[in-house]
Chains A and B, each alone.
Chain A
Amino acid sequence: MTVFVIRRFLQSIAVLCVTAIIVFIGIYAIGDPAEMLIAPDASQAERAQVVASLGLDKPLWEQFFTFAWNALHGDLGRSFVFNRPSISLIFERLPATLELTLVGLFIAIIIGIPLGLLSGLKPNTATDEVIMTGSIFGFSLPSFWQGMMLIMIFSVWLGWLPSTGRGQMGEFLGIHSSLFTLDGLKHLILPAINLSLFKLSLVIRLTRTGVRETLPLDFVKFARAKGLSENRIVFVHVFKNILIPLITVIGLELGSMLAFAVVTETIFAWPGIGKLLIDSIMRLDRPVVVAYLLVIVSLFIFINFVVDVLYSLVDPRVRLGDAS
């Protein structure tokens, strides 16, 4: 386990370095941020002064090493646009995105697994057909369209739920979140559902496939031959085997949900990190983009780590620290 953690840590550092280099070069190639930042009527001297103050007059490699050196000291640079540390811009917005993503994932799991089980245990029945058809919609209708329909139905026609913003926040154990007030919850429901629909369909299908593939296996028949109850067979013997692929995929999907919350955040004006990223790319605000990606990559790495640990808990054949 210790070997596993150390190796994983070293790999992570390497991944972060490569990410930083690629993003740095990528943004440099897109365009010159000075063009965006300096008023068109600025004088030549003013120009030169701004460029020098941002360090943009230095060669790229030197800019990168300055950045890397500062990063090692915990400073990921200041936003060109806001003139504030980029990391604090990100951490201001990150909790809203995390909240949205985690609630969305929770919905996908809590609804998806039971529906998938139902469908897999009673294949080709009316229940199964309904669930499967529903999941096809979840898969194939574009997320922004689903979001607009949700707003149309629940906010515009029925007037039940608000459609923009985060609502009132509550505090619990020092954490600020919309989860802790009724108003906040109301604001959270629609965006969280919107973000979860695709994953919900995925969880349903994964669970159903898992059940279909596990039921015919010999160990299930052997469990029946032992005289176990059907509940024990489904919820212990079958379910524990399905958990293995579920954990893997859900872990991977959590990362992509974080990264792709942008669409939902845009539709529901959710003050998350996605909007910040889009704005920063448009303005070539390199420090923010780089810091954002480093934070997201770190989250990915952390999630993968948690997944691997969970995996080893569920599947006794996996031992952390063996081959990579």
Chain B
Amino acid sequence: MTPVLDVKNLSTHFMTRRGVLKAVDDVSFTVGQREIVGLVGESGSGKSITGFSILGLVDPPGRVVSGQILFNGEDLLKMPPTAMRTIRGKRIAMIFQDPMMTLNPVLSVGTQMVETVLAHDKVSRAEARQRSRDALGLVGIPSPEERLDSYPHQFSGGMRQRVAIAIALLHRPDLIIADEPTTALDVTIQSQILFEIKRLAGEFGMALIWISHDLGVVAALADRIMVMYAGKIVEAGQVDGVLTEPRHPYTSGLLSAVPAAVPRGEPLRPIPGFAPSPLSRPSGCAFRDRCARATEICATEPMLEIAADREFRCFHPHLGRAA
């Protein structure tokens, strides 16, 4: 089965005044049909920019400088803007982190949904409204007919995020990119929404890229996990495998900093130091100056090792159970 999405050697750079900032640096991955892939990493590691690159929404001074983004076999980077617009929102949808900011405050929810239907399908306004109402019902918003006439400020944060999800579902896309959609919400609402999204993705056969810095969330949701550090994917594999037997020292570092993943009685061990500023990353492995296993060879670029069901970039990976 061909994957829905096949990203090959994607690099997205920001041409800033202080130099070229490699937000996404030679990233390759695939997303299979109906697959849920978690993309985790610290703040600034390039997760959102990876998502925006796929949709062609990187704002200047940023630019996708190289690579291929094959969506159902077609390279999105070669597509003219008008064709790209028919993909966005229709075949690939995106949900953003902050539900307070993603809806336009001065337009009613109905307007913002109906326009999404009409942007892609030639249907009557009444039918577009009907479909919007159904989508609101689908994500568990009570009395959807009346809520269509409400404005975003009349919804709670969780409800607003449900509206955003309903908008993403309007066209039953092949792929949804969810950029930390539950981070801004409190824990109970977060798990409700996680559960619903997983259910809906299964029901409609949609693939999902779930961006998060929360390993717990990804563990509960995803089939596969990709760990991103300083613009590169440093480890990827099935969720169970990566979380129980991390190969890359950064992944194991992340795990020992998560309360749920550390056995009772053992201390949490946060990764020492800070992520390097994207403009002054160390040569070779960017994790080098925070890594306990680093040696001289780490000053050269580690190649991607591909083992059965696992890939990672490290000269001295953990072997066997670790962390």
Contact = CB atoms under 8 A, between A and B. Distances in A.
Contacts of B153: 316-317
A314 B103 CA distance: 16
Interface of chain A: mostly helix, strand, loop or mixed: helix
Given A228-B119, A316-B106, A316-B151, A218 B96 contact: yes
Nearest to A222: B102
Interface string B284-317: 0000000000000000000000000000000000
A237 interface: yes
Interface string B84-96: 0111111001101
B142 interface: no
B147 to A, nearest CB: 14
Pick the most buried of B55, B86, B102, B167: most chain A CB atoms within 10 A of its CB.
Answer: B102
B103 A219 contact: yes
Interface in A219-237: 219, 221-229, 232, 236-237
Given A226-B89, A228-B115, A232-B115, A244 B120 contact: no
Q: Which of B52, B96, B106, B115 has the most CB of A within 10 A?
A: B106
Contact of A221 (B57, B106, B151): B57
Contacts of A236: 107, 115
A240 B107 CA distance: 8
Contacts of A237: 104, 107
Nearest to A227: B89
Contact of B88 (A219, A226, A241, A315): A226
Given A218-B101, A316-B151, A232 B107 contact: no
A219 B116 contact: no
A217 interface: yes
A216 interface: yes
A241 B116 contact: no
A229 B104 contact: no
A217 B86 CA distance: 22
Contacts of B89: 225-228
B176 to A, nearest CB: 11
Contacts of A241: 104-106
Nearest to A224: B57
Interface string B162-185: 001001000000000000000000
A227 B90 contact: yes
Nearest to B85: A227
Nearest to B94: A225
Contacts of A317: 105, 151, 153
Contacts of A314: 106
B95 to A, nearest CB: 9
B238 interface: no
B186 interface: no
A225 B105 contact: no
29 contacts: A217-B101, A218-B102, A219-B101, A219-B104, A222-B102, A222-B103, A224-B57, A225-B57, A225-B88, A225-B96, A226-B119, A227-B89, A227-B116, A227-B120, A228-B89, A228-B116, A229-B119, A232-B119, A236-B115, A240-B106, A240-B107, A241-B105, A241-B106, A314-B106, A315-B106, A316-B108, A316-B151, A317-B105, A317-B151
Given A222-B102, A225-B57, A226-B89, 14 more contacts: A218-B96, A218-B98, A219-B104, A222-B103, A222-B164, A224-B88, A227-B85, A227-B87, A227-B116, A228-B119, A229-B85, A236-B115, A244-B106, A316-B153
Q: Which 6 A-B pairs have the closest CB atoms?
A: A227-B89, A218-B101, A226-B89, A227-B88, A316-B151, A225-B94
